[in-house]
Structure 1
Amino acid sequence: MKIDSISIIQKISKFISISFLTISCVITLVLLYVLFGGSLAGEIEIRSLINDVDKINKYDNFNVVPFFLKLTIVLFIITILFLINTILRYWDNFMSLVKKGKYFEINTINNLKYISYILSSIWLVLFLIETFTHNSIIRTFVSFQLNLNDKIVEENIFNESVDLGFNFPPLIFLIIPTILWVISHILIEGIKLKKENEFTI
């Protein structure tokens, strides 16, 4: 029996896309609940480094955290979820068209180009944020503890912190979308040239 690797990859892509979308919806609902006064008890520590002045604020519940700070964190996380879902969606569309045999069509290749645009934009935004916030709000960390059945469970968001002032993003995150864009651009131009030659003949 011949194994259709394209079909398997397409199904896995769709499963990942749907699963992450579902998880993102749940996370978004929880974030909105917390944003508008929902209770999330625990030991919450928010550390900010502003102009080389280290400041630590401690809270016992997220509903007492300043609204602007909560809003910033929520918008940051939702934006990340939205961008990841968009990338997964374009990739799923790409694999679906490839499965249908539409390998060298502009609509198919455009999905790769859109992914490269999003990744490049993310790198550029992170670079600009780091550049303009280097001497102002540089770091904000959020961590909290939850008490579950008298057992303390430590939760650290985004690998021990929500980092609102970024390090300079690695060049690999710029190189990959650049390669994707170059490949997709060459393929699209090749498709257009082939169609023009067919019309002239």
Structure 2
Amino acid sequence: VMRKSHEAREKLLRLGIFRQVDVLIDTCQGDDALPNGLDVTFEVTELRRLTGSYNTMVGNNEGSMVLGLKFPNLFGRAEKVTFQFSYGTKETSYGLSFFKPQPGNFERNFSVNVYKVTGQFPWSSLRETDRGISTEFNFPVWKTNHTLKWEGVWRELGCLARTASFSVREESGHSLKSSLS
């Protein structure tokens, strides 16, 4: 009973929708209680319906501010919607993701991400804008986890200066990229 209740507690925590999960094991009480019966009670504290975060990052000669919003357990079955926005001196990005586990088998899940990333690379006189979508399916097989992912990106490359090299100018413009992994 101890081991099974601990495994159940760990599964509940892995859902990412509870702040705290406590297990209380007690003997059965009452008129219809069995002599060797046990009551197992799970006391949970859910996360808030909306959580947010903000922070700053410094690195690679760039500073940026990151804002995030998360809606855990959005529809009551451990679904999550996450939005993240990052504004920096050379790069700006934002993304929206939706995560949906399979009921009863939370190791098997599906997620969709939509994003846009804009970056400047002054040493190459290059500006890049990526707009993309990705879908991901995670599933266990025996004792290993597997991921099947598709990603599609609309990439726009442009020159930052008239002094850009010929190879940068040659690659400028719009292109579509797709990958399966």
Instruction: Mark yes or no: TM-score above 0.5.
Output: no
Q: Which has the larger share of helix? A: 1
Whichever structure has more strand as a proportion of its residues is: 2
- With normalisation by structure 2, the TM-score equals 0.24
Structure with the larger RCO, 1 or 2 (CA within 8 Å, 6+ apart): 1
Larger Rg: 2
TM-score when normalising by structure 1: 0.23
